[in-house]
């Protein structure tokens, strides 16, 4: 497969200097695209990328800004009394909760994922979204239902739709 994501492409999409996007970032993004099949569909890749750009403020916030304290004792996330900050949102689609971190850890056979948010956001900023993308059949949503449904699937509604759409137009122009 071809590497769709390069530092130069990221510069064109975000306006940030190409040097801001290191090999870990670009390689993990390309790996996610290849593993999920997005790499064979540029329009779907543009949809996913635009939404990821929106969710992270152009890849500035690769981990949740809030402390994560609100996730303490959240049994639906598999969290105990002090797990919230350690397992707060990480990566482009905000992997959250000890349960979801453990699923990622098993799915990619890396026990260090359980070290928490800093490790995941730095090492797997995109791979962290793989299980969610696959389980929600996001590629099929993009291919068969289009941009608006992709946004709804990721966001649960239309929050930030105009920004997502503007980013989608930028992605379509530069991802060829």
Q: Does pLDDT of 68 surpass 60? A: yes
What size, in residues, is the chain? 176
Tell which residue, 90, 95, 66, 61, has the closest CA to residue 78: 95
pLDDT at position 25 is 96
* Mean confidence (pLDDT) of the chain: 96
23: CB partners within 8 A, 6+ apart: none
Residue 170: band (very low, low, confident or very high) from pLDDT cuts 50, 70, 90: very high
Lookup result for tokens 């071809």: 2
pLDDT at position 88 is 98
The CA–CA distances, whole Å, from 174 to 5, 9, 25 equal 11, 7, 18
81: CB partners within 8 A, 6+ apart: 72, 73
pLDDT at position 121 is 97
Percent of the chain having pLDDT more than 70? 99
Q: Does pLDDT of 90 surpass 60? A: yes
Instruction: Provide the whole-model pTM.
Output: 0.93
Half-sphere exposure of 147 (CA within 13 A, CB side): 18
Q: Does pLDDT of 8 surpass 80? A: yes
Q: Are 46 and 36 in contact (CB under 8 A)?
A: no
Average pLDDT over residues 91-98: 96
Q: pLDDT tens-digit profile of 116-164?
A: 999 999 999 999 999 999 999 999 999 999 999 999 999 999 999 999 9
Element (H, E) at 168: helix 161-174
């Amino acid at each position: 497969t071809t590497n769709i994501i390069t530092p130069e492409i990221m510069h064109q999409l975000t306006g940030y200097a190409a040097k801001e996007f290191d090999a870990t970032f670009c390689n993990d993004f390309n790996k996610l695209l290849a593993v999920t099949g997005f790499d064979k569909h540029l329009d779907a890749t543009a949809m996913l990328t635009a939404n990821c750009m929106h969710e992270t403020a152009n890849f500035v916030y690769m981990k949740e800004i809030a402390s994560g304290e609100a996730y303490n004792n959240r049994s639906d996330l598999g969290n105990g009394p002090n797990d919230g900050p350690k397992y707060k949102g990480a990566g482009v689609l905000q992997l959250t909760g000890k349960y979801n971190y453990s699923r990622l850890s098993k799915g990619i056979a890396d026990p260090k994922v359980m070290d928490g948010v800093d490790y995941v956001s730095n090492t797997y900023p995109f791979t962290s979204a793989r299980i969610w993308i696959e389980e929600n059949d996001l590629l099929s949503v993009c291919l068969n239902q289009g941009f608006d449904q992709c946004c709804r699937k990721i966001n649960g509604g239309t929050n930030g739709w105009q920004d997502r759409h503007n980013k989608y137009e930028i992605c379509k122009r530069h991802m060829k």
